[in-house]
Amino acid sequence: MIKGISYITFIVRDLNRTADLFQKVLDAEEVYGSGIKSHPLYTGKLFREGGQWIAVMQPRGIVNRTYHHAALK
């Protein structure tokens, strides 16, 4: 039985610009940032907004496949 969305992941071109958007426009709280480390596939940040977890990830180069997804509870 699906109980809701656990988190949503977005792949972006500019992690810092997207983080600015999430924090300044959406008032999201950054709860994790990988810094320069790539974990597991990309450099990323994790936000919480309105009880929803949102992961934002930036690949190092051109990506031939996407990692956009929503995880269900």
What integer is the mean pLDDT of 22-39?
Answer: 82
Residue 23 has pLDDT above 90, yes or no: yes
> Could you read off the pLDDT of 43-73 as tens digits, one per residue?
889 999 888 889 898 887 666 666 667 776 7
In degrees and rounded to multiples of 5, residue 44 shows phi and psi of -155, 175
Average pLDDT, the chain: 81
pLDDT at res. 40: 59
- What pTM does this model have? 0.72
What integer is the mean pLDDT of 19-45?
Answer: 82
Domain range summary for the chain, segments of one domain joined by +: 5-72
Domain 5-72 bears CATH identifier 3.40.50.300: no
